[in-house]
Structure formats: C-alpha cells, structure tokens
Amino acid sequence: MSPRQPSVLARTSTVLGRKLGGELLRLREAAGKTQAEAAEVLSATATKVVKIERGWVPVRDPDIKALCELYGAEGRDTVDGLLHLASTDRDRRRARGWWNQYPELRAQVEYVALEDVATQVRTLQITLIPGLFQSPDYARALHVAAGHWEDPDEIERYVEARIARQDRLTGERPIQVWAVISEGALRQQVGGRDVMRAQLEHLLKLTKLSNIKVQVLPYRAGAHASMAGAFTVMSFAESSAVEVVHLDTPSSTLWLESEQDAAHHAVIFDRVARNALAQTDSRSLIKRVIEEI
C-alpha cells in the first residue's frame, strides 16, 4: 500500500526536502539497493524510505550517514552537502511563517511559503494582475467574483494576507520580480472602472522599483509560446535548490519540480518576454489604458 500523501500544510517549504530526497533516491538507485535494504539500515519501514525520498519528512543526520554508507557514497563533499541540505530543510520546517495566522490562505499556503524564501519570481499572467502587484480593492473584487467565500470577514482576511505578501517587494531582502502581463489583464475591468484605474496606477508605481521588471504583452503580438496559460517560475538562493514551476487552475495547483520542467518553462517565458513590449513602452501602454478607462 502506498503511503498517504501529507497535507499541504505538512508539505510547506519543502523545496530543499524534495531536493534532498531526490539525491538520496539517485544514490540508492546508482548503488542498486532497494527501499527494503535502506529501511533495514534505518531500522524503519519501507514507507519511511518512500517519505524521505519524496521529501515528505525531515531526515536525521545519522540516517543520512547510514544511507550514504550503504550506498557507497561516503565522500566528504557528498555527505557534507546532504547534511547541509537536511539542516536547512529542518530549520525551514520549524519556522512559523506569518502566513500561518491566515487559515483563509489554505490551498495557497505552500505557494506563499515558497515565495517568502524565493530570491526571484518570473511570472507570466494572461488574465489578471500578479498577486504581488494587486491592490486591496482589486484582490477583493477577484475573490468576490470567484465565490470562494460568502463571509465578508473571510474575504477581508484573505485580502489582508494577500497584501502582507507584498512586504517582499520592499523589505530587507526584496524579491526580484519579472512579470509579463497580457494587455487583456490590463483592460479587464475587475471591480469596475475606479478599482481598475487605481490598480493600474498602483502597478505603474511598482514599475519604478529597481527589483521589479514589468513587460506588457500587447494584443498585436498575436500567438505566443504560452497560449495554454499562466505560470510562475521561482528561484532560490541555495545552489542545491532547483527552480520550481507553479501552475494554477480553478480546481487544483500543480508544482513541477524537475530541472527539465524548470528549464522548459524558462525558455517559454523568455520567448514570450521577447514578444512583449520593453519596460518603457509597457509603462506607456499602462498609462494609455488608464486614460481610456
């Protein structure tokens, strides 16, 4: 029987955990060892080995050393690298982020937790303004329309949480954001004319920040490499942490965590960005849309 997948909360901030598990899986397969053999060395069950290799649980240092010995991977660089990954991952799991006070975030908890430790975000948005750039009224209108909650208090808590995310734009360690936004997202009057005008004025102000790059993909660009939809690529400071790709649908969230997937989406993003307007021209188009509302 396969192990039950942990909840979203249990998987929060486990990019490094999944990287560690992937490395241990690679070493085991290279050594020709089975999960049962690994479990015997750890005096554990095969289920625990599965959870370790999938990054679902933290890994103790003695377990890493025992597995490395079993796999014949006792080189100091290999062992020290895995121990560093494990230590950093454990620290991240123990840390209680600000988002934990907002149960309204529920399905977005992992995204917000990863965004909080990311150094760079590249986001392609087709239908809406990126969450990091949303004004309170715009965010409120989006979620009223989506019908996620009927209780006004829950909606306000969600809006408050969304705005709290934006501290990453101007705090002590500002995140680098490169956003390509479709012209359609600028013209869709979410919340009505006044709300949308204020949102676009807010977006214009953000474009003045050195850590933010905004390009508008104009209608005249025609077909492009990401007609299938929006996505976000997150990058992290740790050299051992691979980039992850996030895709959202109305009913689910998809994480792509392989180097191949990250590289593939990075290429798509670059292709779309090349078809988008330069930053100066993008600001000019945003100003024109404001005047037309």
Averaged confidence pLDDT in the chain = 86
Partnered with residue 124 across adjacent β-strands are 180, 231
Question: Residue 184 carries which side chain, given as an amino acid letter?
Answer: G
Closest CA to 21 of 45, 50, 1: 50
Give the Cα separation of 269 and 284 in Å (integer). 22
pLDDT given for residue 84 in this prediction: 87
- For 254, the enclosing helix (H) or strand (E) is strand 253-256
pLDDT digits (tens, 9 = 90+) for 23-82: 899 999 999 999 999 999 999 888 889 888 877 788 999 999 999 999 999 898 889 989
Say which range, 62-66, 89-93, 168-172, has the weakest mean pLDDT. 89-93
In contact, 46 and 64? CB cutoff 8 Å: no
pLDDT band at 197 (very low <50, low <70, confident <90, very high): very high
Q: What tokens appear for 269 in the block?
A: 């993003």
Residue 212 φ then ψ, to 5°: -120, 130
pLDDT given for residue 240 in this prediction: 57
Would you say how long the chain is, in residues? 293
